[in-house]
Amino acid sequence: MLYRLVLRPLLYAMAPETAHHLTMRLMRWLAASPLCCAVLRGLCAVRDPRLEIEAFGRRLDNPIGLAAGLDKNAEAYEAFSALGFGHVEVGTLTGEAQPGNPMPRLFRLPRDRALINRMGFNNRGSADAAARIARAGTRHATLGINIGKTKLVEPERATEDYVLSAERLGPLADYMVVNVSSPNTPGLRDLQAVSQLRPLLLRIQQQLAALGLPRSMPLLVKIAPDLADEDLDAVADLALELGLAGIIATNTTIGRSPLSTDAQTVEACGAGGLSGAPLKQRSLDVLRRLRARVGDRLMLVSVGGIENADDAWARIRAGASLVQIYTALIYEGPGLVRRIAKGLAGHLQRAGLGSVREAVGLDLR
C-alpha cells in the first residue's frame, strides 16, 4: 500500500531510467549492509516448506526469481534476495564494458502495465562483475549470471566474447544463462538459429568444463517469444541434445499488440523490447509448447507477464519449475514477492498438494 500510494507516484514523476538508478542506489546501499539485509530478510521471507524446490543443485526457498535486467552489474543481488526471491539473475553482462544505446531508452506504458526498453546491454563488463562478486565472498542469494554479446564485437567473434564472460564468471555462478534473445543488440537474435546456437553452446560448455569446477555448472539458454513454433522445437531439441540444464522462456517481444496505450504514444517510444502484461499469453503459449516437447527432461523457467500468484500458478501447472518477474515489480513494488509466495501456498492448499514440486506440469498429466 505504501508503495502504491507514496513511493510509486514519486518514482513515476521521474524519467524511467532516473527512477531505476535511484532504486538501484538504494538496493546497493542495502546490499552493502549485512545487518540491513538480515532485517529485510526477516521481514520479507516466506518460510513455507511447501514452496521449497530443488533447482541448480540447490534447495530454493520458493520458485520465484528476479529476472535479468534489473541488477545489470551484479551490485545488489543480496538485497534482492532479502526481499524474498528464491533466486536472483544478474546481467546481462558482456565481455567488454559498454554504455548501451542512446537515451531515452526506457519507457513506461502504465495503461498496459508494460515497459518498452532498448537499453542495449549497458553494463561495466564481465571482468568488473567477476571482481565484485569475488570480493563479496559468502552469500545468501542463489545467483544466476546472464551473459550476452558485446555490441561492437563482430558476429564472427561472438562465440569468443561469450566464452570470455563464461570463463570469468563461471566459478562464481550458481547457474549461467546464455542470452541470445534480446532485440536490442543488432544480430543477436540470429544466434537462436540452431546452426549458430549449437557451436556457441558447445564452446561455452567446453569452457565451463575446462574451469575444473567442483560441480557441473547448470547452463540455460534464454529465448525470444517471437520464435516460430518450429524454431522453438529446434531449440528444445538442441537443449536436450547438448544436455543443458534448461530453457528460460521468454525475453521481451518486438511485437506491439494488443495494447491499450494509444498508437501515437507507442510509436513515439520507438524500437525496443516490450515486457509486462501484454506478453502474458505468448509467454504461456511458448512454455506449454516447450513442456510438450521436453517433458520433465529439462528445467523450464517462465518469465513474461507474471503479475500475481494466479499467473505464477498457471506457469507452474503448465510446466515451469521456476518463474521470474521484472516489470510487475516496477508496477507493484517489493511486496509483490511475498504476495505471490503466499498466493502460491493458498493454491497448493486448495489443490490438495503438499509441495510446489507436485504442481509442476500438472495440466499436462
Tens digits of residue pLDDT in 289-317: 999 999 999 999 999 999 999 999 999 99
Using pLDDT thresholds of 50, 70 and 90, give the confidence band for residue 136: very high
Q: Contact, 364 vs 319, CB < 8 A? A: yes
Residues 6+ apart with CB under 8 A from 44: 82, 83, 84, 334, 337, 338
Kindly state the average pLDDT of the residues 283-288. 98
Which DSSP helix (H) or strand (E) runs through 177? strand 175-179
33 included as an active-site residue: no
Tens digits of residue pLDDT in 214-243: 667 899 999 999 999 999 999 999 999 999
CB neighbourhood size of 216 (10 A): 12
Which cell numbers hold the place of 253?
Answer: 517481444
Of 126, 165, 181, 182, the catalytic one is: 182
Name residue 98's beta-bridge partners.
123
Domain coordinates in residue numbering, the chain: 2-101+119-261+278-364
Q: How far apart are CA 285 and CA 6, in angstroms?
A: 36
Cα end-to-end span (Å), the chain: 39
Kindly state the average pLDDT of the residues 152-167. 95
Output Rg (C-alpha) for the chain, integer angstroms.
19
pTM of the model: 0.96
CATH of 2-101+119-261+278-364, one of 3.40.50.800, 1.10.10.60, 1.10.3720.10, 3.20.20.70: 3.20.20.70
Name residue 87's beta-bridge partners.
65
Kindly state the average pLDDT of the residues 100-106. 96
Sole residue written with cell 501447472:
317
What is the pLDDT, as a whole number, of residue 346? Answer: 97
Q: How far apart are CA 272 and CA 281, in angstroms?
A: 19
What is the pLDDT, as a whole number, of residue 121? Answer: 95
Strands 58-60 and 53-55: antiparallel
Name residue 205's beta-bridge partners.
none
Using pLDDT thresholds of 50, 70 and 90, give the confidence band for residue 183: confident
Read off the DSSP letter of residue 5.
I
What is the pLDDT, as a whole number, of residue 214? Answer: 62
Q: How far apart are CA 215 and CA 195, in angstroms?
A: 29
From the list 324, 334, 328, the residue with the least C-alpha distance to 30 is 334
What is the pLDDT, as a whole number, of residue 2? Answer: 76
Per-residue DSSP letters for 95-159? SS-B--SPSP-EEEEGGGTEEEE-----BS-HHHHHHHHHHH-S-SS-EEEEE---TTS-GGGHH
Share of the chain above pLDDT 90, in %: 86
From the list 280, 352, 272, 340, the residue with the least C-alpha distance to 61 is 340
Q: What is the mean pLDDT of the chain?
A: 94
- Least confident residue range of 84-98, 160-174, 198-212, 339-353: 198-212
Using pLDDT thresholds of 50, 70 and 90, give the confidence band for residue 46: confident
Q: How far is CA 108 from CA 115, 117, 283, in A?
A: 5, 9, 20
Q: How far apart are CA 106 and CA 252, in angstroms?
A: 13
Q: How far is CA 31 from CA 17, 74, 144, 169, in A?
A: 21, 11, 17, 20
What is the pLDDT, as a whole number, of residue 182? Answer: 84
From the list 252, 88, 51, the residue with the least C-alpha distance to 175 is 88
What is the pLDDT, as a whole number, of residue 215? Answer: 65
Using pLDDT thresholds of 50, 70 and 90, give the confidence band for residue 186: confident
Q: How far apart are CA 231 and CA 36, in angstroms?
A: 46
Kindly state the average pLDDT of the residues 158-169. 97
Q: Contact, 229 vs 248, CB < 8 A? A: no
Share of the chain above pLDDT 70, in %: 99
Tell me: pLDDT of 1 over 70.
Answer: no
Q: Contact, 68 vs 90, CB < 8 A? A: yes
Using pLDDT thresholds of 50, 70 and 90, give the confidence band for residue 67: very high
Tell me: pLDDT of 164 over 70.
Answer: yes
- Least confident residue range of 150-159, 177-186, 306-315, 354-363: 177-186
